[in-house]
Every structure is written in structure tokens, then in C-alpha cells.
Amino acid sequence: MGNPLFNLTEQQQRAALAGLDTAKKSRPALAVAAAANRSRGSPGKCDHLKDQLENTQVEVDTVAANLGRHGWHYKLYTRERALEGVIKRVKGPRLLFVGTHGCFESDQERKEREPGNDRAPSPEDPMLRSALYFAGANRALAGEPVAADLDDGILTAYEATQLNLQGTELVVLSACETALGEVKYGEGVFGLRRALQEAGAEAVMMTMWSVPDKETRELITLFYRKWLAGEDKHQALREAQLEMRKCVTAREGIDLPKLWGAFVLVGR
């Protein structure tokens, strides 16, 4: 999945859902979480998302082409088809790749955007601080009402815990700040990584900070080329980052870890 149409209208969303081969006559129980979470809040760091993630589209297409060359069967969802409802309906794929915008909101950021910022941040489930954005998300970010039978395009870590990822070998989140979360003493880090592993994923690849689309695409392409050729996924990421480091240094004239070192891989 990748390059969602964030400005998707409600009419377009309904048409896209109707055309999906994964659509069902009745909405799954998972979808109830989206409506329930709206009243509890969601990350507010992004006010509006740009629709064109051109390098992400190239990245998704490249990943799909690599999978096809190695004999993998895959389903590709981009633009109006990159819906939150699609990811909620997956059933233990070996690989789940998501290329979109990600968001993590810290206590300080929440405090600064709340009225009367001298107050402490309002108490909230920390699993609502991390999210991935899908088609139609701009309507919810703009404060527009979301129909009860539709997802709002914002998948929080709280909702991600309910995905069906049993048997999934790897989830790749090609999005910014997807490895971040809130630390709770005795509980570890609450965020998308924890959520996806609770949902069953054996390993999650994600980012610690924002990386430009171009460098993200280059690194992800190198990783898949090595992993699909038979390398262990941890070794594949290490080799991809070392190769990317050489390319960035040659191109920029200086070693810039911020362009190649953001991705981490956690799990087996």
C-alpha cells in the first residue's frame, strides 16, 4: 500500500470501497474501533497532507516489481484504493508494506497545541499518539464529520493492535517517525511498533526520524533487492544502509546519517 489520495471525498471513498475485491457485505468488527476512537482524539501534528507522494509511488511500484520477479503473489493498493479499511481486512500476509505519512505526537507537542498551554497535557491513551494516514485522512484532519459506516483514514497504534498479522514475517512502514512512541516505566515504548507486534507481526521495519522521499525510496529498494535475493532481513538492512551511506557521501560530499540511518528493524 502507498501514495494515498489524502483528499479523497466521501463519495470517492464509497466508490473505492465498492470496487475493492476485499470488500464485504457487512463491515468487520475491526472497523468499530475507528468510530470509537474519534471521540478519544488522534494525533494532531498534521493539519493537511499533500496528495502527491511521487517518490512513494515509485517506491511502491518498485517493491511490487521486485516481488513479482521473485515469484511472489501480491495485491497493490495506491491512491484512492490505499484505504484504512484495506489494512484492517488483511489476514496474515507474509509481507505488509505501507508507504505513506506517519505521525508521532509527544507530550510537549500536545501541550503546545492545546488552549492555555500552561496546563499539563490532557490524559490520553499513549497508543493514540502514533498513527499512519490513509486515503481520505484530510477530511478528518480538517474536522469534517466522518460517516459512521466509514473509516476516517487515520490508523492509530491503538487500532493497529487489532489487525490480523498472525504469521506475518515482516511489516515495513515507509513513513516518517513510525518507530517513535511514549515510554511508560515497566511497560516499554507505546507506539506503532508495539502495536504491530501485538497484532502478530514477527518483525517491523520503521523510521526514527523524517527522511526525504528520494532517499527513502533508494534505501527501501536496496533492502528489498537484498532480502528477496535470500539475505537475512537484518543483514539486508545493514548492507543496504552501508551501500546507501557510500552513495550519499559521494553525492553530497559529506557523510549524512540523517539520510540513511533512520530505518531500524525490530523483531525476529
- Tell me: the pLDDT tens digits for 21-44? 544 543 333 333 333 333 334 445
Q: Give dist(CA 244, CA 201) in Å, integer.
A: 27
Number of domains in the chain: 1
Residue 190 maps to a domain:
yes
Residue 218 maps to a domain:
no
Residue 108 maps to a domain:
yes
Name the one residue in this structure whose C-alpha cell is 511472489.
72
Summarize the confidence of residues 70-78 as an average pLDDT: 90
pLDDT in tens, 227-250: 988 999 999 999 999 999 999 999
Residue 261 maps to a domain:
no
Residue 95 maps to a domain:
yes
Q: Is the pLDDT of residue 59 over 90?
A: no
For 254, the grid coordinates are 559529506
Summarize the confidence of residues 63-90 as an average pLDDT: 90
Q: Which residues form the domain of 109?
A: 2-203
pLDDT in tens, 114-171: 555 444 444 466 778 788 899 999 898 888 888 888 999 999 888 999 999 999 999 9
Residue 74 maps to a domain:
yes
Residue 170 maps to a domain:
yes
Q: Is the pLDDT of residue 60 over 60?
A: yes
Residue 254 maps to a domain:
no
Q: Return all residues near 16 (Cβ < 8 A) that are at least 6 apart.
A: 8, 80, 81, 83, 135
Q: For 217, left (φ over 0), alpha (ψ -120 to 50), or beta?
A: alpha
